[in-house]
Structure 1
Amino acid sequence: MSDPTITRMETNGPADTGMVEWDPIDPATLESGEPVQRGHLYFNDESLGLMAGVWDCTANVGKMEPYAVHEFMHVLEGSVTMVLEDGSEETISAGEAFVIPKGLVCQWKQPEYMRKYFVIFDDASGAVTKTADLQVFRPRGDDSVTPADITDTSQFIGDIPVQGQHEYYVDPTGQFMVGLWDSEAFERPVAPFNRYEMMCILDGTVTMSDDAGNEQVFGAGDVAYVPKDAPYKWKSDEYVRKFYCIFMPAVAAVASSAAE
């Protein structure tokens, strides 16, 4: 396995390979359509049940059944409507994000071509999602945040920023979490990253770099994936807001760890 590193996710997959056609969706799970799906996995660790990537697919309608995984999705093109058991519907369109918990009984109703970024946690522990969490979660970039309690100031260089967080979903194992986060400008030194995280930048600009000084600038609309133990430095000279999807292995899972 290659060394963990900060990765820029691209809407069409890596420039040198793009996305490749994946195996067909099992017809037994479909109500209609003969969808063609393509994708690229930027991260895949079967031992964790964790994967992250970009995916696209032609129109299709799935069967009403329990969702098999915990999944965060950020829609890039097209739309999908999630139909629930009670007949209610949630339509998610390009530019919007959503979370489907494992076990939610729902139907995937996709009337058009769709492209998305995704993070999947295929939890094999048998942990059961709480009834109150069996819903479609809709993170919104303009939602309010709660001031974060920063207990470890040693992670910062210079002034301590004011940061905020709005947590939408935590899976029953406490490892997979999705939320909205913002912060004043700040800098932190290079250190091994303590979690796996997809960051969807909504506002502002940040420079992320590694221990060799390789820098990448991420602005609004950009998406970064940072795996655990990657050498990681954050430097922002302005306010930044992002969606995050974090996986923190159980031995270190702490829901308040979205601070940079």
Structure 2
Amino acid sequence: MTKHINDITLFSRQNTPIDTYQLADEKRITGNPLQSVQNHFESPCKQFNVGVWQSEAGSWNVSYSEYEYCDILEGSSIITDSQGHNLTVKTGDKFVIPAGFIGTWEVIEHCKKIYVMFEPQLEHNV
């Protein structure tokens, strides 16, 4: 099926709702950060999503089943893996978190990022 110019998703022309939430108690480590997601695009197969995420200061456990590209627009965070190795990310940093990553995410100062997520299909044993 051929796509046309009207099929392009231009974030600034969308009226995408912003969903705000706080983390579940079982994920939270420190603080009670208010977070928001504005998911501007979801593919028909629901495996590919693009949007904007924001969070106040705090830390929580993460477990990624998806691949996530991140472009930090504001603030800074520390991402720590399950072995205790960490990476500080800040405004201007761009990176990919691989599916299977387990660790923690700590927002040091209000963080805003563009995310691009791809959720691979689960393989079924036949």
Deviation at 1:209, TM superposition (A): 1.6
The residue matched to 2:109 in structure 1 has which SS?
Answer: coil
Tell me: CA distance 1:145–1:218, structure 2 relative to 1, closer, same or farther (3 Å): farther
Map residues 119-130 of structure 1 onto 2, 5 A cutoff: none
Residue 216 (structure 1) aligned with residue 68 (structure 2)? no
2:99 to 228, 231, 234: 228
1:240 to 103, 111, 118: 111
Q: CA RMSD in A?
A: 2.5
* AA in 2 matched with 1:234: W
* AA in 2 matched with 1:170: E
Report what 2:40 is aligned to: 168
**Residues matched between the structures, number:** 120
Residue 104 (structure 1) aligned with residue 3 (structure 2)? yes
1:181 to 39, 45, 53: 53
**Unmatched tracts of structure 2, length 5 or more:** none
State which structure, 1 or 2, has the greater radius of gyration over its C-alpha atoms: 1
The residue matched to 1:239 in structure 2 has which SS?
Answer: strand
Measured in 2, the distance between the counterparts of 1:214 and 1:182 equals: 24
Measured in 2, the distance between the counterparts of 1:179 and 1:232 equals: 22
Measured in 1, the distance between the counterparts of 2:96 and 2:80 equals: 13
Report what 2:20 is aligned to: 148
Question: Retained in 2: the 8 A contact 1:201–1:221?
Answer: yes
Deviation at 1:250, TM superposition (A): 4.7
Question: Retained in 1: the 8 A contact 2:16–2:39?
Answer: no
Residue 199 (structure 1) aligned with residue 98 (structure 2)? no
Measured in 2, the distance between the counterparts of 1:218 and 1:224 equals: 9
Percent identity over the alignment is 23
Residue 249 (structure 1) aligned with residue 115 (structure 2)? no
The residue matched to 1:148 in structure 2 has which SS?
Answer: strand
What TM-score, normalized to structure 1? 0.41
CA deviation profile, 1:160-212 (whole Å, cap 9, x unmatched): 211111111100011100001111011013x5323210111000001112122
Question: Retained in 1: the 8 A contact 2:78–2:86?
Answer: yes
Report what 1:7 is aligned to: none
The residue matched to 2:26 in structure 1 has which SS?
Answer: helix
Question: Retained in 2: the 8 A contact 1:147–1:162?
Answer: no
Map residues 9-48 of structure 1 onto 2, 5 A cutoff: none
The residue matched to 1:153 in structure 2 has which SS?
Answer: coil
Question: Retained in 1: the 8 A contact 2:28–2:60?
Answer: yes
Measured in 2, the distance between the counterparts of 1:230 and 1:176 equals: 18
